[in-house]
Amino acid sequence: MLIDFFYSLRAAKLPVSVKEYLTLLEALKEGVVGPASGDGETGGYKVDDFYYLSRATLVKDEKHYDKFDRAFSAYFKGVELRADFTQDIPLEWLRKNLELHLSPEEKAAIEKLGWDELMETLKKRFEEQKERHEGGNKWIGTGGTSPFGANGYNPQGIRIGQEKGRNKSAVKVWDQRAYQDYDDSQELGTRNIKVALRRLRRFAREGNELELALDDTIRATAANAGYLDIKLVPERHNNVKVLLLMDVGGTMDEHIQRVEELFSAAKAEFKHLEFYYFHNCVYDFMWKNNRRRFSEKFPTWDIIRKYNKDYKLIFVGDATMSPYEIVQPGGSVEYHNEEAGAEWLQRLTNAFPKFAWINPEPQGAWQYRQSISLIQQLMNQRMYPLTLRGLEEAMRLLTK
């Protein structure tokens, strides 16, 4: 049965070898994980235990974890997973029974709370609420117009217990979410992107004299009455340096493939490439690995100090968020940021004078997003769409 699992992983383009597969079989034989009480599809082992064992033995690079998760889930579809769901908010409060559909007129009539009022009201709801609510406009619940809950509508609320955003209007998200790293091995569609990025590459003679200068050698030899006079020049190096900051998670999930293509092309084109992740807006820290983003943080001040101003700074993000996330201390959807995102964006653009923002959101939608307008102002209108023409214009700007 496990040989089919092995072939499924290979079909998902995971670099799994026969040796690693045999290691998995040996681990099972030696009882590294214990059997479950029933006879599940994994030969009597708990699916969670088998998942972690197979991932540890078969996957050697964390960037392939997401591919492995998808392939594992598809192959063992229907097998019961054992998980411990401990929530401060009862799951019963967030059970989805209906989905709210409102007309534009009804949406316009819903009152929007200010930032301070929103936070104070949520605190009161936690103190007062004792049971599930559905379809209302006040309590934490589902399918209503309250600013707190899931699967309803409010022009400015706090999303709680909902799998993903629907209206792109939440100012905070209660749940801690896991994001995946962008896959830098993505090849589909990257060729034209590489051509566009190549406009930024700049070659210069530097380093030790290691290359033959043929024309100079011929001239020198002729001038030396035919006696060979070899002339050398330093190697030509691609000396452009790029600092790539990428938005991940939330609304960026809609753009994963295109951003992966850009990321893969950038890693192939630029020898000196440094990258970090952020969510929605840059604050006081960023990270390099999304699975360890809360344990391995890189302070933004350290990043600013680490790299020289000759780095080209490129932001990649849809700039789609609550305006509070940009202009309000504490406005981040995930934690309480001491300083507004706008402050950090200005510090970064001051530290790296050559900068641009690449936006994967269709350009026709930009005018309808207040947050995009704010980011454009902070970027001095240096925002370009993630299209070949947009990339060429951005690269042309960065070479000036």
- 76-113 tens-digit pLDDT: 764 443 333 333 555 555 555 455 555 665 555 555 66
* pLDDT > 90 in the chain, percent: 24
Q: How many domains does the chain have?
A: 4
225 plus 143 within the same structural domain: no
For residue 145, what are the contacts with CB-CB under 8 A and spacing of at least 6? 100, 102, 110, 136, 137, 152, 153, 154
Is 196 part of any domain? yes
Residue finishing a domain among 49, 75, 101 = 75
d(CA 391, CA 266): 11
Look at residue 331 and tell me whether its pLDDT is greater than 70: yes
Domain around 34: 2-75
Same domain, 226 and 311: no
Do 304 and 362 lie in one domain? The reply is yes
Q: Are residues 166 and 298 in the same domain?
A: no
Measure Cα distances from 66 to 11, 186, 262, 296 in Å: 15, 13, 18, 19
Task: Please check whether residues 367 and 326 belong to one and the same domain.
Answer: yes
Q: Residue 317's closest CA among 246, 258, 243, 378?
A: 246
Q: Answer yes or no: do 374 and 333 share one domain.
A: yes
For residue 80, is it within any domain? no
| Residue 219 lies inside a defined structural domain of this protein | yes
Does residue 185 fall inside a structural domain?
Answer: no
pLDDT in tens, 2-36: 788 888 888 888 888 888 888 888 888 888 876 64
Residue 233 tokens read as: 């020049």
Residue 84 lies in a domain: no
Confirm whether 257 is domain-assigned.
Answer: yes
Over residues 116-128, the mean pLDDT reads 68
pLDDT, position 344: 96
Segment 338-349, tens digit of pLDDT: 999 999 999 999
pLDDT of res. 326: 93
Please report the pLDDT score of residue 78 as a whole number.
46
User: Quick one: 221 and 295 in the same domain?
Assistant: no
**Can you tell me the distance from the alpha carbon of 355 to that of 214, in angstroms, rounded to the nearest whole number?**
38
Would you say residue 160 lies in a domain?
Answer: yes
Are 155 and 118 within one domain? Answer: yes
Q: Which residue has the higher pLDDT, 157 or 267?
A: 267
Mean pLDDT across the stretch 183-208?
A: 63
Burial class (CB in 10 A: 0-12, 13-18, 19+), 320: buried
Tell me: pLDDT of 359 over 60.
yes
Look at residue 62 in the predicted model and tell me its pLDDT. Answer: 75
pLDDT tier at 371 (50, 70, 90 boundaries)?
Answer: very high
Instruction: Give domain status of residue 45, yes or no.
Output: yes
Question: Across-strand partners of 298?
Answer: 286
Higher pLDDT, 58 or 65: 58
Enter the tokens of residue 83.
């998980």
**pLDDT at res. 130:** 66
Both 341 and 329 in one domain: the answer is yes
